[in-house]
Structure 1
């Protein structure tokens, strides 16, 4: 880790940058060509930019199953669970990154080749809030949802919930703006419910309740897996960077230097690929992506004994919406909100929820979307072919989205359910998914026995 003295020298700079970030404009400048697109997401340098783990900008993930509804099927229900858009680093990381840049600039005498830009680089990243590029991601996301379901949504407005953090609320607002713009609607919709992220507050869009998961050995499993992998892939990168710059970066600081690539990219209103990204090779970015993937799998997914349980409450809310029956849950749902038709209606046909990457990772695990993914190796990199589609970049990039849709198909008595992860149709083997990724509604509900029984919530306070 960086020495304790480094961050303090940059604290004043950090405060100034944070205040500057608040004043940023709410939309990307018109006329500048962006790497981000409505239909396909982030397209610049995909051989590296699609391997930034959860710090990747959203991109359309390849699908073995056609994302279009099967012939003869019409959408009868559509919901989206979305991560917030691209942001600045969190407050603690912002201080650490600023200190790292200052240390390099104060310690290096010669900046050559791919490091030349660092000599005059000015650290101006804010903290915690959306960047202009992240805002545009969410505008594009709202437009993407409308385009996909335009016929179905013609006279419908989604019921919108947001977790209570500022960047999540703003993401929902930008999504609504993109939705209205694409649908040529006169008015932009409003967030119907915002659930505070306060200690002790039940909130299916932000985990904080399960004591045994939040503190103790289970909280360290993801970090432990990542540290083992760091020992495998970072030494050669660390040695090269230190030799080139004449510095003594630690393994953690080397990771921080890699982190600067996506965050500096996001600081550009058009998300132009940062010069930090060119410091590292394509193979090194794949190794970095796997590092972040290990953190999600063992921190919040199937690799953590209580990871999937953190997503049980949301799954039970989803089942209530799909079946139009009251929520049946005793985990982290807010019973006051969920029992009131004005804050949790069951008669809508379109819903949108906005959350965070860690919470979404737990929800995906609770649903069983990656049950076929074997425990990830922390010593050998595994690609998405081997992990059955699981990676941090493929599941929870900035502006990540899970669509759950119901289909009414000709000649069929029962509705079908499909799940689409960032444009990749989930095969849904756990409920007998067919060649179109469909399960009947009854089979889908039946398959969710883990969530319906409360997961392992009883262990949270044991």
Structure 2
């Protein structure tokens, strides 16, 4: 309520208060007597008037203190457990894999269908927002140093760079990224509370610190929600066990595969595709940057690195406040950047790369085992020792949570065939996710990305002996399943869904990894 409204309300209360009726003064009363009586009335009510005015002043001060504190000092976060990052979405939702997670538009409702109940839920999550990798942080720091050394006059919107200090770290979660993962755990609990209030999920994590930290923060968010759930009666054995699988070329790890030699040592098809698109969209940006930063002599690749200072400085802010770097580029330029990153992931680690889907085969076969309750059958990247032990790979659970990286998730999506409806991406013409059957880097693998795999039963379902349905959501978008007779809600029967995963069940192209 605005202060003016408050004043009007107070006036209304005063006007509407009890009225006092006085007898008319006799006509023969002297002027002095009138003044005396007026002074007597004023003296009698002076204290009440002062008290009323004092209350109004105190309330006014309290109002302005409240407004200043909550609108100026305590700025709300741009991220929430319900819908992810929602500040300046025309910009922030176009940062490719560097976008913070946000709830992606879905043509099919993401809500559990009426009359249905989820009986199984698996989340596969990327780690939360982080600092740049070590290699990138060196590049960014050198770029800023070069600008400071060579530029003497800055264009008006760029003047803040004169005093900008590069302070980003390397590889680890930011405070914002930690909160993302807490929010993700909260969201998972709220969505699957009927399962979660009496059972903790089985949790695995790839071995890098930022991934393990993400798993721990997610588990805390889950635990926090369970502790607040009045319907949860079972003991909560928190902190939950997290099985950490080491990363590296010497390890079988379905959450971070490095075993496919031909892929690891082969050509970087993602960068090759990006190079073509870079020559299309970047020159105009590079020209403008050099006009406003005379002497910097930036290249097209420098321009891309310059743009990346926007998302990284944004997620370095605890509340996700957008960096001034973000507003140096137009909405259309950010969409071009998003497409640049989408090309890199599609051809580098997704369906556009002949060997990338094979890297995801091991996880898909583990998923099949969890969905069916049958032992893992795989001869690719799975760890037979871990997957053969019910302590390290239990079956029959209702909740599972795995934590990984964007590149590995891209390969898993490809092995699952989630984007089989997406045509090969053009390297010369931009296409948004609504034109690519829902594929883009920002829609599929942003910071804290999450895939939910659900099994559900539905009341009154007599078809195919009431066999459970399977449904997949990526960042809250229902992905219509392919090659298994999906219904209008994007779901397939469990047996048909497993049959449709023949690429993974047959081992992908694992034999080509070692040619």
What TM-score do you get using the length of structure 1 for normalisation?
Answer: 0.92
Instruction: Tell me which residue corresponds to 1:381.
Output: 430
CA distance in 2, matches of 1:210, 1:191: 30
Secondary structure of the residue that 2:118 maps to in structure 1? Answer: strand
Residues 332-363 of structure 1: per-residue CA shift (max 9 Å, x gap): 00111000000000021100000000000000
Please say which of residues 290-299 and 63-72 is displaced more in the overlay: 63-72
1:311 aligns with 2:360: yes
Deviation at 1:392, TM superposition (A): 0.1
Query: Which residue of 2 is the match for residue 70 of structure 1?
Result: 113
Q: Using the TM superposition, name which of 440-449 and 101-110 deviates more.
A: 101-110
Instruction: Specify the alignment match of 1:426 in structure 2.
Output: 479
**1:285 pairs with 2:334:** yes
How big is the shift at 1:111? 2.0
Q: 1:82 maps to what in 2?
A: 125
Q: Which residue in the other structure is 2:272 paired with?
A: 224
**Whole-angstrom CA distance in 1 between matches of 2:330 and 2:237:** 46
Deviation of 1:31 (Å): 5.1
Shift of 1:192: 2.8
Q: Which residue of 1 aligns with 2:245?
A: 195
| Equivalent-residue separation in structure 2 for 1:441 and 1:154 (angstroms) | 25
Contact 1:192–1:343 (8 Å) recurs in 2: no
Which of 388, 394, 401 matches 2:443?
394
- Deviation per CA, 1:202-242: give whole Å up to 9, x if none: 1000021000000023xx11110000000000000001101
Aligned pairs (5 A) from 1:322-401? 322-401=371-450
Deviation at residue 32 of structure 1 after TM alignment: 4.5
The 1-side partners of 2:122 and 2:302 are apart by 40
- Equivalent residue, structure 2, for 1:22: none
Q: Deviations over 1:342-391 (max 9, x none)?
A: 00000211000000000000000000000010000000001112210000
2:156 corresponds to 1:113: yes
Counterpart in 2 of 1:174? 217
**1:162–1:191 contact (8 Å) kept in structure 2:** no
Could you report, residue by residue, the CA deviation over 1:392-448 in whole angstroms, capped at 9, with x for unpaired residues?
000000000000010011133100000011000011132111111111000100100
Counterpart for residue 185 of structure 2: 142
Native 8 Å contact 2:263 2:355 kept in 1: yes
Task: Write the distance in 2 (CA, Å) between the matches of 1:364 and 1:138.
Answer: 21
What TM-score do the two structures reach when normalised by structure 2?
0.82
Q: Identify the residue that residue 171 of structure 2 maps to in structure 1.
A: 128
Aligned partners of 1:396 and 1:84: how far apart in 2?
10
Between the aligned partners of 1:203 and 1:114, the Cα distance in structure 2 is 47
What SS does the corresponding residue of 1:198 show, helix, strand or coil? coil
Decide which structure has greater helix share: 2
3-state DSSP class of the match of 2:392? coil
SS of match in other structure, 2:107: coil
In the other structure, the counterpart of 2:469 is 416
Q: Distance in 1 between matches of 2:452 and 2:337?
A: 27
How big is the shift at 1:187? 5.3
Alignment partners' CA distance in 1, 2:195 and 2:110: 16
Question: Which SS does the other structure have where 1:94 is aligned?
Answer: helix
Q: Which moved more, 1:301-310 or 1:164-173?
A: 301-310
Q: Which of 261, 284, 287 in structure 2 is aligned with 1:211?
A: 261
Secondary structure at the aligned position of 2:215 is classed as helix
In structure 2, the partner of 1:240 is: 288
Consecutive unaligned residues of structure 2, counting only runs of 5 or more, are 1-72, 229-235
State the Cα distance separating 1:154 from its structure 2 match.
1.7
CA contact (8 A) 1:74 1:408 kept: yes
Whole-angstrom distance in 1 between the partners of 2:460 and 2:438 = 32
Determine if the alignment matches structure 1 residue 33 to structure 2 residue 40. Answer: no
| Contact 2:195–2:399 (CA under 8 A) maintained in structure 1 | no
Shift in Å at residue 198 of structure 1? 2.3
Distance 1:38 1:439 in 2: 28
The answer (yes or no) to whether the contact 1:157–1:189 under 8 Å persists in 2 is: no
RMSD across aligned positions (CA): 1.1
Q: Tell me how far apart the structure 2 counterparts of residues 154 and 131 of structure 1 sit (CA, whole Å).
A: 29
Q: Distance in 1 between matches of 2:92 and 2:348?
A: 23
1:268 counterpart = 2:317: yes
SS in 2 for 1:358: helix
Secondary structure at 1:418 match in 2: strand
Q: What SS does structure 2 have at the residue aligned with 1:261?
A: helix
Q: Using the alignment, how far apart are the partners of 2:353 and 2:99 within structure 1? A: 23
| Corresponding residue of 1:13 | none
Kindly indicate whether residue 456 of structure 2 is the aligned counterpart of residue 407 of structure 1: yes
Post-superposition shift, 1:152?
2.3
- CA offsets, 1:215-274, max 9 Å, x none? 023xx1111000000000000000110111102011111111011000000110111000
Q: Is the 8 A contact 1:38 1:144 kept in 2?
A: yes
Kindly indicate whether residue 496 of structure 2 is the aligned counterpart of residue 443 of structure 1.
yes
What's the CA shift for 1:116?
1.2
Q: Which runs of 5+ in 1 are unaligned?
A: 1-29
Whole-Å separation in 2 of the counterparts to 1:73 and 1:216: 46
Which residue matches 2:30? none
